[in-house]
């Protein structure tokens, strides 16, 4: 069954449980990082950080807001990275779940093309040229388990299940949240399997939060 996430950023507290669970399940090494003066650490996604809780402080309506954004691969319905790989077997989309998975064969691809194809700035490569990113915990999902990040989230910010159900959940929650936050939006809900709900414009959270954010394209 086709799967998806609904990520409700209005419920995220930046506890980073998801970030740690991702590292733990995928056996990813730690990185040497620097304190940036806020809760975000490390500074960006990397070959060994598939999930990153981004944090920004913004003055909105005259008040300080903390904006948290648990960033990851969107497992696009029609993945641009997969299209650029040109059926090379280095990247595949699982027929059952829809997960977009990178293999060790990615070291034979032109990394710049794959990285440049992703509208969300997700893939990263290691020193050998191999590309990596979130796998949707496809190994867990195939045996009926939730992704490690979702299992860990204590607030209900991360949800996972059949894509259709996640789309319904996202729409229901959006209708409620926009009563309090008129600028709330769902990010690219018709194009991705990982649907984010934000209380404010996407670019306030992260430059690449939404692929089709009008402000972002205008700026380019």
Q: Under the rule (CB under 6 A), what is the footprint of ligand SF4?
A: 12-18, 53, 70, 73-76, 79-81, 100, 118, 120, 122-123, 133, 152-153, 155, 157-158
Nearer to ligand SF4 by Cβ, of 12 and 197: the residue is 12
Nearer to ligand SF4 by Cβ, of 157 and 209: the residue is 157
d(CA 151, CA 41): 21
Nearer to ligand SF4 by Cβ, of 5 and 182: the residue is 5
Nearer to ligand SF4 by Cβ, of 17 and 185: the residue is 17
Give 91-156 as a DSSP string: EEE-TTT--EEE-GGGGGS-HHHHHHH-TT---EE-TTS-EE---TTHHHHTTTPPPHHHHH-SSS
- Provide the minimum distance between the beta carbon of 62 and ligand SF4 in the complex, in angstroms, as a whole number: 26
- Provide the minimum distance between the beta carbon of 196 and ligand SF4 in the complex, in angstroms, as a whole number: 11
- Provide the minimum distance between the beta carbon of 69 and ligand SF4 in the complex, in angstroms, as a whole number: 9
d(CA 186, CA 2): 20
d(CA 147, CA 115): 24
Instruction: Report residue 71 as tokens.
Output: 């960033």
CB 195 within 8 A of CB 167: yes
């Amino acid at each position: 069954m086709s799967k998806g996430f609904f990520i409700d950023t209005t419920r995220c507290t930046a506890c980073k449980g998801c970030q740690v669970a991702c590292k733990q399940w995928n056996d990813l090494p730690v990185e040497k990082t620097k304190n940036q003066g806020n809760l975000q650490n490390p500074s960006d996604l990397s070959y060994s950080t598939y999930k990153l809780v981004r944090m920004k402080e913004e003055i909105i309506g005259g008040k300080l807001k903390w904006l948290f954004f648990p960033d990851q691969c969107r497992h696009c319905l029609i993945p641009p990275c997969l299209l650029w790989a040109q059926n090379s077997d280095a990247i595949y989309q699982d027929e059952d779940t829809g997960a977009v998975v990178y293999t060790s064969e990615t070291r034979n691809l032109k990394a710049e093309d794959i990285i440049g194809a992703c509208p969300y700035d997700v893939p990263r490569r290691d020193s050998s040229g191999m590309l990596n990113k979130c796998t949707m915990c496809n190994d867990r999902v195939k045996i009926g388990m939730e992704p490690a990040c979702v299992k860990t989230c204590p607030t209900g910010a991360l949800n996972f299940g059949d894509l259709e159900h996640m789309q319904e959940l996202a729409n229901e929650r959006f209708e409620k949240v926009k009563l309090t936050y008129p600028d709330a939006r769902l990010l690219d809900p018709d194009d991705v399997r990982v649907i984010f709900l934000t209380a404010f414009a996407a670019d306030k959270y992260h430059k690449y939060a939404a692929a089709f954010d009008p402000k972002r394209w205008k700026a380019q």
